[in-house]
Structure 1
């Protein structure tokens, strides 16, 4: 069953406000010469300023876009306009056989996906295992030497006292980060750079800096004892240090283990994420529970956040398994104005098989196999109180201490604008959780009408970032 798209969801795909505005201007029947659809694709010809109309098509299964216009934006205004027309006037699209230019595009996409799959399978097999092992050993040697040097740097900092940090220039942190890069530990370099601004960021800076330094100390100590730790913790430490695992390597790993890799056996069991479980049960041991690395389910797209780090854009799409009752994070990267490889639309649900990266608390995953799209999101599963939500976060943190973002859905909360432009949410028990100040908070407040609503967002241990809400039987993205 094809998803029912809303105008809000379509506009959220626009690369910038100008494209969204121009796309809305094209979402009218008079702008299009011909329109058609099948269960997978829609197409149309939009008359522009030139002699020939622009041929525009949208593959609804992702969605994916293609247009013959010269725009470098993705999707272009024609793709947004065509998709908006489907959302607002679906009866204008008649079921018909797609023209040759649409069929050619669909066939080329299928061939490209097949080639990509073959490339991943080939990449999973090292061309020279001996050479790869030698490179890995050399990197471990460099990282080990760098770790020892950084431990001395960290010990000197603590010995001098945190009170001296505010007098240190930015170069103090930059030089330590550079040494981590030289040691081929880019993850540590990022952690150190993130600390540089803390001493100048508020009254409680010393507490927050000590917390981050403690996590860095734990990471350095853990790396030196890597082989003595459970495999899930080993994977988390390698990730934090900057070791990346390619998609091809992950797929090969889960295939070899039939969904439960040999390296993941013996790691801590996956925590029970059933939202009906009371907080006091979160820490019960469940040794009989298997760590599932591959999960097929109907995945609800709960929300999405996109951050920019210089020229790199990072997309976090948060999913929730309708049957497995577990969260998943799809992480994507794109440089400049390049589009993300996958178009994952918040507020929808689709059937897919996800492969989870190994971790003591598995969250990040990739889409191994995607099946037919299903309907729009019809519910938003959530914790019934702030206490329950924070208890789940604390349990996740006990498994993965370096966890930076955690997905939370909290039901029946009321938005509370406060003094000094501070905002918070209050649950039915009167408990309060601070949220980030954002221009979208007022929009969310207007949607709620002052009534309790269910809110989804990211929690970092200090503040909550709302990303979406399900209010009055309708999904809203912020």
Structure 2
């Protein structure tokens, strides 16, 4: 079976405090019509509202949750309640050799299926690649002229431009098949109205775009890893099927943070992992459009013994999970840098290898949250007094952080964008708290 989970560790998996509270009320034997488990899974049937019953399953090997209830939260209160009940009253569950899985097995094609695959037309493929390269080249040349005109007129003129000024330029880059640069311009468009210090932030981001243009013009002169970074930033993708054939990095990967953003019905989920032995960060990126569900196999506060393969880069971060070797277990510590200056040194070295890193993963072992008079979190400070300013912490999360720290040092994980720190999770006294999802 899986490692032993404590009540505190199970409740830390809840997506919010209300789910945790409701789950505890469901961890009662009389509310479950049937209960079972085996080496792979735990399952149960819970009496819902009225005549409805909900079938809840927990895959112990990968710590994945599934429930037939209408809740969109992952894991839902029924899953957490079932997990709590199993931790308290395992004898109430019937052990069975029945195979129970949350996911249907992937179809393994037979020889006949493989032989009917379409033959790749390499000549046509090369022609399409050349056409795209030419379109991107033309788009980047136009962008360089546009940037030169913008800077020549002065940043004050940029502040007076409507958002459509940036969006129109971004749309031309989409037409030029450079969607990555288009996204950069759209994000830059909000900077002139972002308050004090906007001039420095705007010039910094324009400089990154210009550096990308310069790098693309001399693409063939760089090492393969730097070429990959430039092409990725512009919008080329790497073949994931081919990537999964490569040898990866096996480690105990701590799942320390997760963040979801949405734009035009497309949701992007960023999960941050940290290798216990390799001391390497890994970013897992998943997408879902409209009502499609996001991946739920990576739950902050847990760890997996897995092999990850990294996308080619001078500073590899983005990766794919290739193989999970053992069941998930709880995170029992916060790894990372011993001080903020040490983190800044690592950040500088990372930028030297890949200057287009937008979010740098930061794990700090012992920092003290600093709060304003109104209770909001102003930043985190290390033992030597160095401080990172924070952003994006909602009031509920601020109180969670305050309760966890009590004025004392905690471990914390989040993203550093070069200006502000976004906390995603915190850890102290065997308690892991998710601050953002």
Task: Please report the TM-score for the alignment, with normalisation by the length of structure 1.
Answer: 0.82
Report how far residue 431 of structure 1 moved: 1.4
2:423 is the alignment partner of 1:430: no
CA deviations on 1:28-51 (whole Å, 9 max, x unpaired) are 221102212122100112234576
Q: For residues 374 and 158 of structure 1, do their structure 2 counterparts lie closer, same or farther at Cα, with a shift above 3 Å needed? A: same
CA RMSD of aligned residues (A): 3.0
Q: 1:179 aligns with which of 143, 147, 172?
A: 172
CA deviations on 1:432-467 (whole Å, 9 max, x unpaired) are 221125221232122111111221111111111112
2-structure distance, mates of 1:123, 1:379: 50
> How many residues in Structure 1 have an aligned counterpart in Structure 2?
430
Matching residue of 2:224: 231
Report how far residue 201 of structure 1 moved: 0.8
Matching residue of 2:429: 472
Counterparts of residues 313-392 of structure 1 (less than 5 Å): 313-392=267-346
Q: For residues 84 and 311 of structure 1, do their structure 2 counterparts lie closer, same or farther at Cα, with a shift above 3 Å needed? A: farther
Matching residue of 2:203: 210
Q: For residues 347 and 430 of structure 1, do their structure 2 counterparts lie closer, same or farther at Cα, with a shift above 3 Å needed? A: same
2-structure distance, mates of 1:199, 1:251: 42
Task: Please report the TM-score for the alignment, with normalisation by the length of structure 2.
Answer: 0.89
Matching residue of 1:282: none
2-structure distance, mates of 1:458, 1:124: 43
Q: Is the 8 A contact 1:385 1:427 kept in 2?
A: yes
Matching residue of 1:415: 369
2:353 is the alignment partner of 1:399: yes
1-structure distance, mates of 2:67, 2:399: 36
CA deviations on 1:1-33 (whole Å, 9 max, x unpaired) are 614445666567667888666555433221102
CA deviations on 1:79-109 (whole Å, 9 max, x unpaired) are 343234335x25355361155xxx3x53x83
1-structure distance, mates of 2:92, 2:359: 41
2:137 is the alignment partner of 1:144: yes
CA deviations on 1:274-318 (whole Å, 9 max, x unpaired) are xxxxxxxxxxxxxxxxxxxx1111111122222223422222211
Q: For residues 205 and 218 of structure 1, do their structure 2 counterparts lie closer, same or farther at Cα, with a shift above 3 Å needed? A: same
2-structure distance, mates of 1:226, 1:331: 26
5+ residue gaps, structure 1, are 260-293
Matching residue of 2:95: 96
Matching residue of 1:443: 400
1-structure distance, mates of 2:19, 2:119: 43
Instruction: Say which SS state the counterpart of residue 203 (structure 2) adopts.
Output: helix
Q: Is the 8 A contact 1:47 1:53 kept in 2?
A: yes
Matching residue of 1:59: 59
Matching residue of 2:150: 157
5+ residue gaps, structure 2, are none
Q: For residues 247 and 14 of structure 1, do their structure 2 counterparts lie closer, same or farther at Cα, with a shift above 3 Å needed? A: farther
Instruction: Say which SS state the counterpart of residue 109 (structure 1) adopts.
Output: coil
Q: For residues 145 and 13 of structure 1, do their structure 2 counterparts lie closer, same or farther at Cα, with a shift above 3 Å needed? A: farther
Q: For residues 469 and 152 of structure 1, do their structure 2 counterparts lie closer, same or farther at Cα, with a shift above 3 Å needed? A: same
Counterparts of residues 230-269 of structure 1 (less than 5 Å): 230-252=223-245, 254=246, 259=247
